[in-house]
Structure 1
Amino acid sequence: MLVKSRSNEFSLIGLQLLDKRLPQMHEMKELIHSKMHMAKAGIYGEVLVESVFRKYSFPFEHVVLHDVSLNSYGNFQIDTLFLTQYFAVILESKNIAGKLSFQQNPPLLMRENDEGKVEMFESPETQIERNIYLLGEWLRIGGVNIPIYGAIVLTNSKILIEDPPKKYPAILPQTNPVFLRNMPREKVYLEVYALHGLAKRIAVSHQHYFPYPMCSRWGILPKDLLTGVHCEKCESFGMVKQKGGWSCPRCGHLDKLAHEKTIKEWFVLIGETINNRQCRYFLQLDSYHVASRLLNSMNLERSGKSKNTIIYQWKW
């Protein structure tokens, strides 16, 4: 039974907007572009795992929760949580191609790509171990005691494992159901009603993670970003405010609400609040009154009384 599907991927959204507004020659452009593609690949892998679960059933009561973010003695995120009356399994998805070597001392994942370039990543085993501990504490605080296991799901078919993981098994998405069906079911830790009650409690306790503003997260100066209202048709910046909307001087595209998208990008990329001066700078406007009208037309929280102290905030 599927209780929770994937949430919106706010990290990817932030990386995409940051990549869009970073100049081509910026020193962080290549890194942000690479991180954006890695985030896309990760999401693809997690979606693949979710699709496998939708196709198969199990001969015992179970619930599946995808993309779970909780807090016990620290925030933690689980790609897929498989819950039964007998055990819980944390599935960590990895969409990585190439020759893979799971190192132990220190615990790292080494990847060699087709060009022979070697890269090092945090070990999925370390991630699983941390999540098992934090989930165990979260359950313990809630009065639940159940064995928790873990497995690494390798979602890219273009892999060759030279050194397999030692602590947790590495499986493919298609073998997920077989792996889970073969796990021992010797003792009942949760009655059926308690199992479904726990799943609902986890879903309700899920906390969306907003990694914003992206500039401070990645150490990028806001002044380095391209400003102006973005044209979604020709991908250029600098749409001009006209009566009734925004016009692109490059392709002629008209967009009545282009300012809303741009102001929201400010909150994603630069700051939790915006004032009139910052709005004029980011939208490339000259008029205080036009900027004020645009800000007041949006569903933003407003504070401050005088002309110079009014700030606006977007509640996620």
Structure 2
Amino acid sequence: MIAKNRSIPKEIEMYEAIIRRLPANHPRKAEFENKLSRKKAGYKGEKELDYHISQINHSSFTILHDIRIPYNDTHFQIDTLFISNSLMIPIDSKYYAGTLEFYPEFNQMIQYLNGNEKVYPDPILQTKIQGRQLEAFLRSHQFSPPPFEPLVAITNSQALIKNPTQNKEVSSRVFKSPGILYKIRPYLEKYQEEVLTDQDIKKIVKLLLRKHSPYLPDLTELPYSDFQKGVECPACNTIGMEKFHSLWGCKKCGHTSKDAHVAALKDYFLINGQSITNRQFRDFLGIPSIHQARRLLSQLDLIITGEKKGRVYTPGKNF
């Protein structure tokens, strides 16, 4: 059973909004474009692993994708977690390209790509640490978890995995996405003793879902004044559509839209936080009328708190 599906990370949506709203010549635009590219590549690899997971029998496992749990003034993140009555398998997904050489004895992995050599922390050690953090977290909530067997999925199909020292742990824990079933099967056969009841698993899943805290980039160093204000044209992507009665009109290409303001409001929430006032709405979208702004806001799935000038709007469940 899949208890938590993988969805597009909020981080990707935030980076996309930042890139849309930063001027072309902004000194940090390329930085966020690179961050978005890396995050999208990683997400693509995770979805590829999810496909192969979907092809195996789930009856023995409860599966959670992409959980991030606060613990001891920090957070630990697990890309995919298998939970059974006798075993937990945290899986760390890595979308590395090129040739990858694993050296667990030195806690490092070396990537060779386009004639360059780059050293990364050992992914096996990383996922072991995540497993230990999860174990400590569960014990702090009065659970006695079963054994952990961490795995590392290399999700880039073009990557070449090498194990120069013939380390047995690399062979047993590192795999390409299509081999997920054959990688977990030996551990299923090894661990037969049931440690968790079905009720225990339900309680653990409920706890993890309740504690899940998605990563959000810190945008405090980007002043509000750096971002372009206005409604973006859905046809030509020019920012600065004008409101004409019930329609938004683009001065550049002539496209009209009834709801182009919705995307602009979503950009505001992604960049500036989860609340907006009528004045902020008018300022960001370029709406001169307080009454027109109130009418547009009232038509959306927003939660309204406060009265008159103190009224604040936050996204509803389906916004």
Check whether the contact 1:63–1:83 (CA below 8 A) recurs between aligned residues: yes
Q: Cα offset for 1:163?
A: 6.2
In structure 2, what is the Cα distance between the partners aligned to 1:204 and 1:237? 38
SS in 1 for 2:92: strand
Larger mean Cα displacement after TM superposition, 163-172 or 11-20: 163-172
Written as runs of structure 1 = structure 2, the 5 A alignment for 1:149-188 is 149-161=149-161, 169-183=173-187, 184-188=189-193
Larger mean Cα displacement after TM superposition, 154-163 or 195-204: 195-204
Check whether the contact 1:86–1:188 (CA below 8 A) recurs between aligned residues: yes
Check whether the contact 2:69–2:208 (CA below 8 A) recurs between aligned residues: no
TM-score by length of 1: 0.84
Deviations 1:179-200 (A, max 9, x none): 1111252441335634653564
Check whether the contact 1:4–1:66 (CA below 8 A) recurs between aligned residues: yes
Structure 2: stretches of 5+ with no match in the other structure: none
Q: Cα offset for 1:233?
A: 1.6
Q: Cα offset for 1:76?
A: 2.6
Which residue of structure 2 lines up, in the alignment, with residue 143 of structure 1? 143
Q: Which amino acid aligns with 2:315?
A: W
Check whether the contact 2:84–2:196 (CA below 8 A) recurs between aligned residues: no
Which residue of structure 1 lines up, in the alignment, with residue 232 of structure 2? 230
Q: Which amino acid aligns with 1:173?
A: S
Pick aligned residue for 2:290 from 288, 291, 311: 288
Check whether the contact 2:146–2:196 (CA below 8 A) recurs between aligned residues: no
In structure 2, what is the Cα distance between the partners aligned to 1:162 and 1:187? 32
Percent identical among aligned pairs is 26
Structure 1 residue 247 corresponds to structure 2 residue 249:
yes
In structure 1, what is the Cα distance between the partners aligned to 2:92 and 2:295? 47
Q: Specify whether residues 193 and 300 from structure 1 end up closer, same or farther in structure 2 by C-alpha distance, changes over 3 A only.
A: closer
Q: Which amino acid aligns with 2:123?
A: P
Check whether the contact 1:93–1:155 (CA below 8 A) recurs between aligned residues: yes
Q: Which amino acid aligns with 2:18?
A: L
Which residue of structure 2 lines up, in the alignment, with residue 69 of structure 1? 68
Deviations 1:211-254 (A, max 9, x none): 16x632xx322211121101122111111111112112222222
Check whether the contact 1:3–1:199 (CA below 8 A) recurs between aligned residues: no
Which residue of structure 2 lines up, in the alignment, with residue 258 of structure 1? 260
Q: Which amino acid aligns with 2:183?
A: F
Written as runs of structure 1 = structure 2, the 5 A alignment for 1:57-136 is 57=57, 61-73=60-72, 74-102=74-102, 107=107, 109-114=109-114, 116-119=115-118, 121=120, 123-136=122-135
Which residue of structure 1 lines up, in the alignment, with residue 19 of structure 2? 19
Deviations 1:277-302 (A, max 9, x none): 32222112333333333334333344
Q: How many residues align?
A: 310
Q: Specify whether residues 193 and 292 from structure 1 end up closer, same or farther in structure 2 by C-alpha distance, changes over 3 A only.
A: closer
Check whether the contact 1:61–1:192 (CA below 8 A) recurs between aligned residues: no
In structure 2, what is the Cα distance between the partners aligned to 1:142 and 1:71? 17
Q: Cα offset for 1:155?
A: 0.9
TM-score by length of 2: 0.83
Q: Which amino acid aligns with 1:268?
A: L
